[in-house]
Amino acid sequence: MTSKLIENTIRPDVRALASYHVPDASGYIKLDAMENPYPLPDRLRTELAMRLADAVLNRYPIPTYGTLKQKIRANLGVPEGFDVILGNGSDEIISIVATAVARSDRRAVIMAPVPAFVMFARSAQMAGCDFVGVPLGADFSLDREAMLAAIAQHKPAALFLAYPNNPTGNLFDEADMEAIIEALGDTGIAVVDEAYGPFAQASFMDRLPRYPNLVVMRTLSKLGLAGIRLGYLAASPALLEQLDKVRPPYNVNVLTQVAAEFALDHIAVLNAQADALNAARGELAASLATLPGVTVFPSRANFLLVRVPDADHACAQLLADKIMIKNMSKMHGLLANCIRVTVSTPEENSAFVEALRGALETR
């Protein structure tokens, strides 16, 4: 009965999918998800608790979120005349964009250079769009000619560029990105995903006035608030008006709103943590580079992509040592034997380096 029901109701491409597997990390050093290892200082946590106690839980959220949006615009450099839409994480915003461009008269195309953040392709599929991935060059730079040719051929309605890119960690060349944004013109929305902006200290935000088809997406997740789920997208009012029709009403809850406003009032604390992680990234990269057979790729994010002699063996050994990282080696040909590790505290980074050293020796 159940299998017939599933077969008769759930679409075939969903039935064929594997679930997005999130492993249970209790008891592990968790270096797989680009989380900030540092909690808010005690003083701020106590103050936040009081603010949360005052949150109005019996009412629906105020749908405009004027105060929160104003703080985002002010703190994060959204240009005059532009506004933001909020999402339950930027994952939801990716899905809102995909849903907004999906159409019933023909299949819309969503494009990204690959390897890319998995949710670009996943959201495209769920919305009923075709996803076209254009391979990066061997050094993970944009293949400008291939991208421009793919844009001319497929006319994508939306194109995602993560800046810095996940899982490769690099910033794409600005001129390449501008050529792509210009080539899309008025046939495609260019989404620059700056999830790692706090670490890269580079942004396309100030280019919003120059390109009417450009939108810039950010999130509080990698900065230290992955648990509250808040992402936002800055764009022209005309585009936001359309995207807002697709956004589920009340998609950002009041506890998130209160916590986010509080965090933005104390953004200097989070930025200082990001600076510390940036410094730690340099030290971690230098330590890893001394290990035999290990290649560390340049990163402007809070993670490192690392090529090892045998990624499966390394991940198995690290897991046995209670360290969780991400094995990227099956994701794309360019990522053969690559692992991705989040930059964490000096102690956790050292534990990782020592465990990886051990894994390399037992091979």
Ligand X SMILES: *Cc1c(COP(=O)(O)O)cnc(C)c1O
The contact set with ligand X (CB under 6 A) reads: 34, 89-91, 117, 162, 166, 193, 195, 219, 221, 226, 231
- Residue nearer to ligand X on the CB measure, 34 or 142: 34
User: Pseudo-torsion of CA 354, 355, 358, 362, nearest 10°?
Assistant: -170
- Residue nearer to ligand X on the CB measure, 193 or 348: 193
Sign, CA torsion 339/344/348/351: positive
The least distance separating ligand X from the CB of residue 195, rounded to whole angstroms, comes to 4
Q: For 63, which DSSP code?
A: T
CB neighbour list of residue 113: distance below 8 Å, 6 or more residues apart: 133, 134, 135, 136, 142, 143, 147, 161, 165, 172
Q: Are 305 and 167 in contact (CB under 8 A)?
A: yes
The least distance separating ligand X from the CB of residue 164, rounded to whole angstroms, comes to 8
Q: What backbone phi and psi angles, to 5 degrees, belong to 28?
A: -110, 155
Q: What backbone phi and psi angles, to 5 degrees, belong to 45?
A: -65, -40
The least distance separating ligand X from the CB of residue 176, rounded to whole angstroms, comes to 18
The least distance separating ligand X from the CB of residue 94, rounded to whole angstroms, comes to 7
- Residue nearer to ligand X on the CB measure, 233 or 239: 233
- Residue nearer to ligand X on the CB measure, 299 or 317: 299
- Residue nearer to ligand X on the CB measure, 162 or 274: 162
Query: Token digits for 265?
Result: 């009032």
Query: Token digits for 112?
Result: 């990204």
Q: Which residue has the closest beta carbon to ligand X? A: 89
The least distance separating ligand X from the CB of residue 292, rounded to whole angstroms, comes to 30
The least distance separating ligand X from the CB of residue 92, rounded to whole angstroms, comes to 7
Other CB atoms within a 10 A radius of the CB of residue 294 amount to 19
- Residue nearer to ligand X on the CB measure, 251 or 317: 251
Question: How far is the CA of 360 from the CAs of 288, 298, 336, in angstroms?
Answer: 12, 21, 17
The least distance separating ligand X from the CB of residue 246, rounded to whole angstroms, comes to 17
Q: Enumerate the H helices of 54-89 as residue ranges.
A: 66-75
- Residue nearer to ligand X on the CB measure, 159 or 195: 195
Largest CA distance in the chain: 59
- Residue nearer to ligand X on the CB measure, 61 or 89: 89
The least distance separating ligand X from the CB of residue 166, rounded to whole angstroms, comes to 4
Q: How many CA atoms lie within 13 A of 19 on its CB side?
A: 3
